[in-house]
Structure 1
């Protein structure tokens, strides 16, 4: 078998999407999102998408870049996926080696990578000098059978309205301001700053998987207070991109209300499966998703390698 690692081309998008779905079937991945991510990454991220080609067929990919918005300089990411039938033949090793060389050349000192909690994946990472960090709990809800609770037995609380992201098409800044506050509070291995508004517009608001009609927003007395972001792939899959509540309004059930509305909209739109991922330390959202009836689907681990070591 002849193995080649090269840079991504737009004609590889279908194969790369298939490889990612085979490894992480819960994520919303389409050829369009693959191309968009490659073309829309901020310059400071130094994003590079590598593909492994075996005998003329793309069998895997690795996205690599730096956390340009992280609070610790010199941190980078390299996430590798190989299509199921081609694993164990050197494609993953070739991709990771190429990515590490690229990131090392950028002066990075630490590389983070996501991997599933399986023996082969964990062994692969640890043999290459990666150590285990935090974990993310992936959960699944069957929307065809889920008994979603009523939005509110007695109607919405006084002053609360439910809207969609589409209602903010003319001015999405209120959504940006809410997202900026909530995102920095998320637990994780890498602390990241809120992006400038222009970058948020480009990377979040214009994301091709964002479904604005299914993204629900809780408004209190006219102000955005909570939201639940919906990503869809046109194949019946729904991914919770982010659910959050402004600090001053937490503990009032507004995030649960927004997510309930979003899930109901998704089911009405024909979505069959809903997935979400939460850091193992995010107790409030794990409790919310359990309340909705989500069940464990997978565990992902964040692994890290110190290049100096």
Structure 2
């Protein structure tokens, strides 16, 4: 019954997916996406994927990395995930300690993690020197039975609806829009997307990203808003990112993109839709309420600083 923490091996991918689905059913992961994350990570990330094994079974894991695309150096990320049936037996603590040691050696001065908003989870973080910072709200929509807004009879002059698949030959306009939206996301860590080739490898070629279901709004031929659709290829859909570039905010274009994507996802057979928003992101929380999303989980962001 001893827990062993070791480095990830490709054959562990199915176990990681099983643990994540049990621990956080509002998130989507597949074996292919796990392997992609490992293979596409830039060297500057210092990525280390660790698993906790008990009696030959993967019962937990943690992905430890440096946020190399932040203008503030030394920001680390590591959130241990343990199967609910195996909590309280030391796996989470061992995973976190190994992640901390790796990140501090890689130059991390602060480590950020997310925990579910439950007393035992918060106590796990706080007894290890972490302090709370912000909250993230996860929401679920019954896509099969929910009432989605009908498509507009006509779009305003100059406005077009496209999909990410229409940008297959040249995704750079989507990269430019994503970089602007990401920079304005409420977060403890500022991220600046500046490397197009990294974005292609990490975001555009992410196996979870469904190009055909990701909607893009053009205004006078330029990308103005978009929603990135992540799916498990079966029944579950997650909004990877929805946003509007600064020059076009306040016009309802993000709502237009998201509604279009959700309608097509339902037509493609997806049954559940999930999304998440920082508690400070009032505009997107309001958009999701109008679609009928309901709160299904809350996570609290924690941070620990190192000398």
**Shorter chain as normaliser: what TM range?**
over 0.9
Q: Distance in 2 between matches of 1:258 and 1:26?
A: 21
User: How far off its partner does 1:19 sit?
Assistant: 0.9
Q: How far apart are residue 235 of structure 1 and its match?
A: 2.9
Distance in 2 (CA, whole Å) between partners of 1:96 and 1:179 is 31
Q: What is the DSSP-based 3-state SS (H/G/I as helix, E as strand, rest coil) of the residue aligned with 2:95? A: helix
Q: Hey, what's the Cα distance between the residues in 1 that align with 2:98 and 2:221?
A: 51
Q: Per-residue CA shift, 1:91-120, capped at 9, x if unaligned?
A: 111111111111121121110001111122
Deviation of the 1:2 alpha carbon:
1.7
CA distance in 2, matches of 1:53, 1:46: 22
1:207-243 residue CA offsets vs partner (Å, 9 max, x unmatched): 0000000000111121111101100002311000111
**DSSP 3-state at the match of 1:145:** coil
Shift of 1:300: 0.9
Instruction: Return the alpha-carbon distance in structure 2 between the equivalents of residues 227 and 129 of structure 1.
Output: 39
Partner of 1:249: 248
Does 2:295 match 1:307? no
Q: Distance between the aligned counterparts of 1:272 and 1:303, measured in 2? A: 32
Q: What's the secondary structure of 1:277's corresponding residue?
A: strand
Matched, 1:157 2:180: no
Structure 2 match to 1:227: 226
> Distance in 2 between the 1:67 and 1:176 partners?
18
Q: State the partner residue of 1:188.
A: 187
1:81-100, aligned counterparts within 5 Å? 81-100=81-100
Displacement of 1:40 in angstroms is 1.0
Which residue in the other structure is 2:119 paired with? 119
CA distance in 2, matches of 1:103, 1:173: 32
Aligned to 1:204: 203
> How far did residue 71 of structure 1 move?
2.2
Distance in 2 between the 1:31 and 1:15 partners?
Answer: 9
TM-score of the aligned structures, taking structure 2 as reference length: 0.98
Aligned ranges 1:20-35 → 2 under 5 Å:
20-35=20-35
TM-score (structure 1 length as normaliser): 0.97
Deviation >2 Å, runs of 4+: none
How many aligned positions are there? 307
Q: How do 1:170-189 and structure 2 match up within 5 A?
A: 170-189=169-188
Tell me how far apart the structure 2 counterparts of residues 72 and 161 of structure 1 sit (CA, whole Å): 38
1:71, 1:190 within 8 Å by CA — same for their partners in 2?
A: no
